[in-house]
Amino acid sequence: MELPQIGKNCQLEGCNSLDFLPVACPLCHHTFCGDHRLPLDHKCSQWTHVNKELIQCSDCQHLIQAPENEKLSPEQALKLHKKSKCQLYLYPPNNTIKKIDRQCTVKGCRDIDPRIGPVHCNGCDQDFCLKHRHPASHVCQSLDTDEQRKIDRKLAAQEKVAKTFAPQPAKKNKIIKSVPVKSKNGGIVELMKIKSQAKGSASVPAASRIYIYVQGPKESKVESQSMYFDKKTSVGKALDLIAGICKVNNKNNAVPPSDPERLELYKCPDMDILSKSDSLEKALKNLDTVLLERQGLVSMEELNEEK
């Protein structure tokens, strides 16, 4: 704490409030808060035993007693007391403020408040006045330690972040390949193979099916597989079906056409974007290869590699 020795709890039963400038009653010697500092406010047990000619100074909160040999009224004694800067006619006479032997450690400073006392700095283990209590005010040696500690923590954090988020080796661009048709008979053998492996809805009649190879986007675990669709299905609907199979987030209905997050179907190897309004039988033929990818991830480098 900054001021651990300052403040006391009011000793009046039922109050007990913490006051940072408590007042000690000169009669009963108990400590009270500002609201209960007067003898009558805390029903002082010693009040009936003292001269009723006592009066309290509103500046220093001490009781004042006019000396008998000077024949002064309480009001006159109070006036002279204030004129003496609250030094004369204190009651009891020995109830003066103790002088603080300790001085502020800052050279040339003697501003320690006698009521509050010095403030101890845990950083350098020295005592200071209220004005110089902050480490920065007295150029505390702990500031250098704290600064070095901050630097060490920062370096440790940077090292931990560097280990946790180490840069991954750059991945090579996805190689987009179309399945070549090698046979001279128009790919009948390849078509037979794809028919035996392709996945699709069993509700599509065999005569209405178009068989194609589909490559999933980079974010999908689906690399490449053969599929069949109804040839009358539009490219846009096929795109939605493929996105569902590849388990990718399809936001085409919510993003503008120019948004890089928009999904497109590309015909390989030329990488032409298929029109979503065309039917599959108009845009493709059996054994064609399509790529589902976000348009912001299809770079010219990939296009050049394919061409």
Q: What is the pLDDT of residues 105-148, one digit of tens each?
A: 888 787 776 666 778 888 888 888 888 888 888 888 877 777 77
Which segment, 1-10, 23-32, 52-61, 100-109, is predicted with the most confidence on average?
23-32
pLDDT level of residue 60 (50, 70, 90 thresholds): confident
Count CA atoms closer than 13 A to 20's CA, side-chain side. 3
Tell me the percentage of the chain whose pLDDT exceeds 70.
80
Residue 215 CA to residue 236 CA, distance in Å, equals: 16
Amino acid at 53: E
Q: What is the pLDDT of residues 162-201, one digit of tens each?
A: 777 666 555 544 445 444 544 445 578 888 888 889 999 9
Per-residue pLDDT at 154 exceeds 80: yes
H or E element: which one contains 194? helix 188-197
User: What does pTM read for this prediction?
Assistant: 0.41
